[in-house]
Structure 1
């Protein structure tokens, strides 16, 4: 069986340069020393002051959030398994004038790749769906953190990931698995979530959903203490097409019709005991 990492890495490598050139990621705005990615700007109230902290951003892709966290005063390391994505991340850091270390590694091998003792492990939108084992992920996070360090993650809600995205009648229908499955969901998609007219070659991905209870349980079983769990009614991309969503602030979308029907994203925080 083809390793899911090889399949997914090929898809991300194929899209890295197109994402960096997309108006959605706004690379040129990072020449402004005060610019932060919309994702990190949304996270700031819950993230709090991270100046002087040592952080690692898992599955950092092309580095917009990693660079933004560095601008908030943290000493940041970004980790991703896609070398093409990291090429763009390093280019962005240079453009932004930020000293950020980027390391290529599978997330499960993060400790051997970047070491441990971090104050903050940060994981952003659209990361967990590429991982087959949420418990192994949580153990990796715990091993990266120093005693007293914390996990911060904002992620697409598993209910959102489970929806039928092909419907055009405006109904919210659960179609995909909500819980983690042994075998991946295999998708074919010639495009990208980012605005681009590039034609891609590698269009197969292997993905997994993880229920909210599974994620919380994994964090607790890894020895961390849950310190926050907030569900949000916005998501930082137009998750449902066909006019079903409206942009309510920069890069934050929600259902146009009765958005309180759907948990769009969540922020989870946890701490490793001192």
Structure 2
């Protein structure tokens, strides 16, 4: 069932290549709204505005940028961003969106682990990574070393992602919070097969329906950043996520964030970590 580890990139890239057109036409990504409204920011970037602070003039890189809505949002906040992703199909949509919005953004095709080779070392004031990124990577240590190598001295990281505890839950159970899947990083991936993606779309996946994913414990993430030579400057766990993690058990607020209907204080669904290179 599990192919060789060396194949995980190809398996996942094929899946994202097929997802990208579905996402580009999805009301969840609402690409036309960015074209129509020059002030629109993605919900993910807007959520972390208090932690991002003033990024005007900063040279930023958005790792695993997908369709580039977060990358565009960083540009609209005054940063000079580069978007990096391994899916050429997603990047075609990202470049089109930036062009239609009149934003000068460089999008680079590369696997995240090859980012230093693709972009150069110590070039960036800010490394930004948004929701749903780390689960596609088998080694959190290698990711953290990549982030550190991209940052110039004094540069910083801002990462918001799904909380690893939430990733252990069985989303089919509606009677209780059932811990079913690994919390810590494992040698072998969790292999998933399905035709649906995580947002409402007009179609479904037809061919590349398999993905390989990994969880990474919060302690593993923090330790990896520390081992890579970064200093942790902030860590916040959130009771919400920008998608319905547990279908039928969450409600969406005016801020576009989903929270448990009952017992919101029981579980974090996302987290934001900030770190700085000495």
Smaller-chain TM-score bracket: over 0.9
2:65 alignment partner, one of 46, 57, 60: 60
Residue matched to 2:269: 264
Partner of 1:88: 93
Q: Does residue 132 of structure 2 align to residue 126 of structure 1?
A: yes
Match of 1:10 among 10, 14, 21: 14
Matched, 1:104 2:109: yes
Is the 8 Å Cα contact of residues 30 and 95 (structure 1) preserved in structure 2?
A: no
Q: By how many angstroms is 1:239 displaced? A: 1.2
Q: Which range is displaced more, 254-263 or 192-201?
A: 192-201
SS of 1:158's partner is coil
1:89, distance to aligned residue in structure 2 (A): 0.5
Matches within 5 A, 1:193-212: 193-200=198-205, 201-212=207-218
* Mapping 1:101-180, distance limit 5 Å: 101-116=106-121, 117-169=123-175, 171-180=176-185
In the alignment, the residues of structure 2 paired with residue 228 and residue 10 of structure 1 have an alpha-carbon distance, to the nearest angstrom, of 35
Distance 1:109 1:154 in 2: 21
Unaligned ranges ≥5, structure 2 = none
Counterpart contact for 2:26–2:202, Cα < 8 Å: no
1:39 aligned onto 2:39: no
Instruction: Judge conservation of contact 2:129–2:160 (CA < 8 Å) in 1.
Output: yes
Q: Matches of residues 227-266 of structure 1 in structure 2 within 5 Å?
A: 227-241=233-247, 243-266=248-271
Runs ≥4 in structure 1, deviation > 4 angstroms?
A: none
Unaligned regions of 5+ residues in structure 1, if any? none
Counterpart Cα distance in 2 of 1:248 and 1:39: 14
In 2, the alpha carbon distance for the partners of 1:96 and 1:265 equals 30
d(CA) in 2 for partners of 1:250, 1:230: 18
Give the equivalent residue in structure 2 for 1:192. Answer: 197
Contact 2:23 2:199 in 1 (8 A): yes
Is the 1:189–1:203 contact (alpha carbons within 8 Å) kept by the matching residues of 2? Answer: yes
2:161 and 2:56 mapped to 1: Cα distance? 23
The normalised TM-score by structure 2 is 0.96
RMSD (CA atoms): 0.9
